[in-house]
Amino acid sequence: MKQQIKSMLELQDSMNCKVHQNWRSQNFEWYRAIWIECAELLDHHGWKWWKKQHPDIDQIALELVDIWHFGLSLLLLKDQPLESITESVIEGFSTPQASGDFPVDLEGFTSNTLISKDFDIAGFAGLMKGINMDFDQLYIGYVGKNVLNFFRQDNGYQDGSYHKQWGGQEDNEHLVEIVSRLDTSSATFKDDLYSEMETVYRKLCD
């Protein structure tokens, strides 16, 4: 878990630098991005008493991965050593704040976000617990999405030269297939994933 957290923090810093080299001094409203994602997440869970709804667990998990991106950014802004941040994350995950009522827990997490403008690690861990999402699932989902975002940027996403369809199949689908073939517990997982994506992309799109 410790190695996974460090890898994600490093990857998040790299992605933020790709958006803006001096991202730490830009005063981006990371907390605002989190509560907006929370609203989208609640829609996937369902809250309308006037119609029948069922929680879409897969979509909820994807929204949690998105929130995690912004949460990691807030943690990095504390300008502490990676080791200290990692220990804070481990401590937060050891005491997940969950009542068993997912919408109430989500509202609590959102409220804490708005008041503190910070990342509520234990509250986030409680939301994961509410959908039976473990840390390995968070790690795989996070790294996969970040590597794909890097790959898109490196291959012409901004100028329009990137092919989102690889041989008639969307890059997101290829991502899932490639991840299934790799050792996600490896310290080189993100590098292996990028390398394999590049191989498949060149084969199908060049």
- What's the confidence (pLDDT) of residue 7? 86
- Give the residue extent of every domain in the chain: 2-133, 141-205
Residues of the chain with pLDDT under 70: none
CATH class of residue range 2-133: mainly alpha
pLDDT on residue 35: 93
Mention every residue, 6+ apart, whose C-beta is less than 8 A from residue 175: 144, 147, 148, 197
Per-residue confidence (pLDDT) for residue 189, from 0 to 100? 86
Give pLDDT, residue 156.
Answer: 87
DSSP 54-65: ---HHHHHHHHH
d(CA 103, CA 15): 31
Q: In what helix (H) or strand (E) does residue 73 lie, and over which residues does it extend?
A: helix 57-77
HSE-CB at 72 with a 13 A cutoff on CA atoms is: 26
pLDDT tens for each residue of 110-142: 999 999 999 999 999 999 999 999 999 999 889
Q: Are strands 165-166 and 169-170 parallel, antiparallel or unpaired?
A: antiparallel
Report the predicted TM-score, pTM, of the whole model to 2 decimal places: 0.81
